Amino acid sequence: MALQELLKEWPEIRVAETLASTTEQRVLGAISKDILTIEDFLALLSPAALPHLETIAERANALTRRHFGNSILIFTPIYISDFCENGCTYCSFSSKHHMKRHHLSIAEIELEAKLISETGIRHILMLTGEAPKKANIIYLQDAVSVLKRYFSAPAIEIYALDSDGYAKLAACGADALTIYQETYNRELYPAYHPAGPKADYDFRLEAPERALSNGFRAVTIGPLLGLADRITDAVSTAIHLDYLQNKYSAAELSVSLPRIRPINQDISIRYPVHDREFVQMILAFRLLKPHMGLTVSTRESKSMRNALLRLGATKMSAGVSTAVGGHSAKETSGQFEIDDSRSVDEMKNDLLNLGFQPVMHDWNHRFSLE
């Protein structure tokens, strides 16, 4: 069955009805199961689960330690271009904002890469705005080729590409894709994405599959929390993960659940996700997908990220700048507000002090660059 049809099986009204009918017995059953259904996942996200969060947390910690040990992968993003054709209503890079735009030359990308690599980082995430005419495929190929000289596993978070585009970047050394659907709600999606390449809901939805079909090894997906009903978007993300897992059994799949943190204070958050609700989502995803990577970004505070280390997190960024050229220049504007500004060394030391092992390279490429 097509992904779009699978998503239609769990509209918001069905999600709400399932949550309302969830019993304590159903919650306890979901906690003890090894393989969870969508109904079990919803039980863990339901109000009925709140009295049992401590028990769920203990289960999540045990599963994380079983499958990942005490290892935490550390990566950092590199922003190379903030030109954007999208009119996204929640993003600081939106084309509607009159701002000085920046687009790094290949030489400037190499300078950024060199500075980042000196921190010991070997896993990097390359980001651009969505401007295919500016950050075209040739530019992206050249950028990935530079990054491959310094990092063992370049990942990308860029505009959705066609199959040929992903194949070309894979040939240059990119092997991981991060792409957020932002919200899976088809009714709300156009209001948030009124113009630009991102306005095509289905083309973006199918991007992870195109990447995995054309040489990419790993994919990270998720919603941007705050744009729509959090639980319905969580269910849609779970369905999407199941779909990819069933079709690409060898793929490394991860989920990331960023909460919207706009720099522009005029941007309102229609569906705020509070800390307890956020933690409940992290726990539910860990029990649903025990083998899956779970990324927590610097949008979250130091205290929150430290707490999530024992609740399911396996990947964290450090030494982060969300500005183009932010590692070698200081005058550019960032995409969103960060709340955890720890350097790579600070993150490493904190992880060690908390009993975790910082991993500076990708697990599947650990001997690529030593």
Burial bucket for residue 14 (CB in 10 Å: 0-12, 13-18, 19+): middle
Q: Does any domain span residue 60?
A: yes
337 in a structural domain: yes
pLDDT at 92: 76
Q: What is the C-alpha separation between 94 and 198, in angstroms, rounded?
A: 11
In angstroms, what CA-CA distances link 194 with 89, 98, 197? 8, 17, 10
Provide the domain limits for residue 85.
3-365
pLDDT in tens, 162-192: 999 999 999 999 999 999 999 999 999 999 9
The pLDDT of residue 330? 52
Q: Are 147 and 153 in contact (CB under 8 A)?
A: no
Q: Write the CATH number for 303.
A: 3.20.20.70
Q: What is the pLDDT of residues 250-289, one digit of tens each?
A: 999 999 999 998 655 566 789 999 999 999 999 999 999 9
Point out the least confidently predicted range of 9-23, 108-122, 355-369: 355-369
Cβ–Cβ under 8 Å, residues 63 and 311:
no
Confidence of residue 97 (pLDDT cuts 50, 70, 90): low
Establish if 52 belongs to a structural domain.
yes
Count up the domains in the chain and report the number.
1
Q: At 214, which amino acid appears?
A: N
- Confidence at residue 264, expressed as pLDDT on a 0 to 100 scale: 57
The answer to whether residue 137 is domain-embedded is yes
Q: Give me the pLDDT at residue 337, please.
A: 63
Any domain includes 193: yes
pLDDT digits (tens, 9 = 90+) for 217-242: 999 999 999 999 999 999 999 999 99
Q: Tens digit of pLDDT for each residue in 303-337?
A: 999 999 999 999 999 988 777 877 766 555 444 56
Radius of gyration of the chain (CA): 20
Q: Which two tokens stand for residue 76?
A: 């950092």
Amino acid at 19: L
Inside any domain, residue 370: no
pTM: 0.92
